[in-house]
Amino acid sequence: MVWWHEEVSPGIWVGFTGADAGNLAFHVGGDAGEVRANRAALAVELGLDTAPAAARLQFMDQVHGNDVAVVSAGDFAPEAGPTADAMVSLGEPLAVLVADCVPVVLVGARADHTPVLAVAHAGRPGVATSVVPRTVAAMRGQGAVSIRAWLGPSVCGACYEVPAALRDEVAAVAPASWSTTSWGTPALDLPAAVLAQLAAAGVAAQRIKACTLQERGLFSHRRFGREGGSQGRFAGVVHARH
Ligand SMILES: [Zn+2]
């Protein structure tokens, strides 16, 4: 169910779900009851069922913007969240939903070891408008003095075909995004661009290398558009578990 899951610092876990965890997004037209059940099963899988009720997994309403919301336990009703493409918390578990865009999970801490956690949704618009550097800045605004980042599976630079004009437009602001598909047409390499943005911000990052379009154990919006099959979103998560 959790495609990749690792304790990245004592008691702090980063994970990315697989398609076998089911669709986790309410907005893609699936059955809401099924999404609710999938989210509940994921919380149990992550060990969040034993946490205080307030420490549930917080999702957001992603709009391909670059707003960063600082969230606390109890800010939102169940199933509600901020309209944003990144969130920062002081330990509350967070989730970002994707199916080709880059899910970015960040973990930092204050000097007194209070965790400063974040997730960001870095699709083409988010990469072009620096949603990830803005997230790093928001974490530092919360006092984070050490930050590391993990990039989950996304469509890769050899698969993400775009019109030449769009490649030029994004590469003008994020040069590392300039790419060519494996069949020789203009493309964008979003994970490369995010890695460059993180490096420029002084944040060490690890990329979990997998292409959503090629890896059938993950959801891909582009593959769904071409082949149909199951429509869904998988999640990048960060949470505490002691
Ligand atoms: Zn690929």
Produce one character per residue of 195-212: b if its CB has 16 or more CB atoms within 10 Å, e if not: bbbbeebebebebbebbb
The pLDDT of residue 52 is 55
Question: What's the mean pLDDT when you consider all of the chain?
Answer: 94
Q: Could you tell me the distance, in angstroms and rounded to a whole number, from the CA of residue 30 to the centre of ligand 1?
A: 26
Which token pair is 69? 């919301």
Rounded average pLDDT over 53-78 = 88
Residues above pLDDT 70, as percent of the chain: 97
- d(CA 162, CA 2) in angstroms, rounded, equals 30
Rounded average pLDDT over 217-229 = 90
pTM over 0.75: yes
Task: List pLDDT tens digits, range 191-206.
Answer: 999 999 999 999 999 9
Q: Could you tell me the distance, in angstroms and rounded to a whole number, from the CA of residue 182 to the centre of ligand 1?
A: 9
Q: Could you tell me the distance, in angstroms and rounded to a whole number, from the CA of residue 64 to the centre of ligand 1?
A: 21
Provide the domain limits for residue 108.
Answer: 2-240
Task: List pLDDT tens digits, range 145-198.
Answer: 999 999 999 999 999 999 999 999 999 999 999 999 999 999 999 999 999 999
- d(CA 14, CA 8) in angstroms, rounded, equals 7
Q: Could you tell me the distance, in angstroms and rounded to a whole number, from the CA of residue 135 to the centre of ligand 1?
A: 26
Q: Could you tell me the distance, in angstroms and rounded to a whole number, from the CA of residue 104 to the centre of ligand 1?
A: 18
Split at pLDDT 50, 70, 90, the class of 78 is confident
Which of 111, 133, 113, 132 is CA-nearest to residue 122?
132
- The structural domain count of the chain equals 1
Q: Could you tell me the distance, in angstroms and rounded to a whole number, from the CA of residue 79 to the centre of ligand 1?
A: 32
Domain CATH code at residue 60: 3.60.140.10
The pLDDT of residue 50 is 58
Q: Could you tell me the distance, in angstroms and rounded to a whole number, from the CA of residue 216 to the centre of ligand 1?
A: 11
Q: What angle do CA 68, 2, 150 make, to 5 degrees?
A: 40
Q: Could you tell me the distance, in angstroms and rounded to a whole number, from the CA of residue 190 to the centre of ligand 1?
A: 11
The pLDDT of residue 54 is 42
